[in-house]
């Protein structure tokens, strides 16, 4: 059976996962790239270093985000969300966003761009060399939809 996810099921899929794909377009090219993320109930929060994805989202903040849970080809859930790219520049909001990553992914290997500043300063993380200046951003979700299939 193929169907539409309820609002609560959409929230569950977004909240239970940490890996999705973001799609952006600069007017000439569309770029879809995997990201790790945290969902805070309102926003997709992510991090990156300077590169094509960040440049494209700065040029055109309208993005699409996709995440799925796949058990097999006949048992899956997929959520697509649309929204606006918003860079986090304030130290407090950047710290809080990175703390969400650490709290959510405590037992996972953390990307170099997701290390909070106080941890970098203490050199606790093996990748904490202080050279990476991450871009912390969120997707302010404006629309969500979801589909599923199960036997």
Q: How far apart are the first and last CA of the chain?
A: 6
d(CA 41, CA 15): 7
Cα 148 to chain center, whole Å?
21
Model confidence pLDDT, tens digit, residues 6-51: 999 999 999 999 999 999 999 999 999 999 999 999 999 999 999 9
Predicted confidence at residue 120, as pLDDT, reads: 45
118 lies in some domain: no
Spell out the alpha helix ranges (H) of 31-77: 52-59
86 lies in some domain: yes
d(CA 146, CA 47): 24
Q: Please tell me which residue, 51 or 126, carries the higher pLDDT value.
A: 51
Enclosing domain of residue 35: 2-93+134-149
Q: How many domains in the chain? A: 1
DSSP 116: -
DSSP 6: P
pLDDT value at 2 more than 90: yes
CATH classification of the domain holding 145:
2.30.110.10
Q: What is the pTM of this model?
A: 0.81
Model confidence pLDDT, tens digit, residues 132-142: 678 999 999 99
d(CA 87, CA 150): 37
Token pair recorded at residue 41:
């109930």
């Amino acid at each position: 059976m193929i169907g539409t996810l309820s609002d609560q099921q959409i929230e569950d899929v977004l909240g239970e996962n940490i890996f999705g794909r973001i799609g952006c377009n600069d007017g000439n090219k569309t770029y879809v790239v995997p990201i790790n993320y945290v969902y805070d109930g309102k926003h997709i929060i992510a991090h990156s270093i300077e590169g094509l994805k960040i440049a494209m989202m700065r040029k055109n903040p309208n993005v699409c985000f996709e995440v799925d849970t796949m058990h097999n080809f006949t048992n899956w859930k997929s959520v697509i969300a649309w929204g606006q790219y918003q860079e986090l520049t304030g130290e407090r909001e950047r710290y809080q966003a990175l703390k969400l990553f650490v709290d959510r992914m405590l037992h996972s290997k953390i990307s170099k761009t997701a290390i909070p500043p106080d941890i970098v300063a203490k050199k606790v993380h093996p990748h904490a060399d202080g050279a990476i200046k991450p871009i912390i951003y969120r997707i302010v979700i404006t629309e969500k939809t979801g589909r599923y299939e199960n036997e």
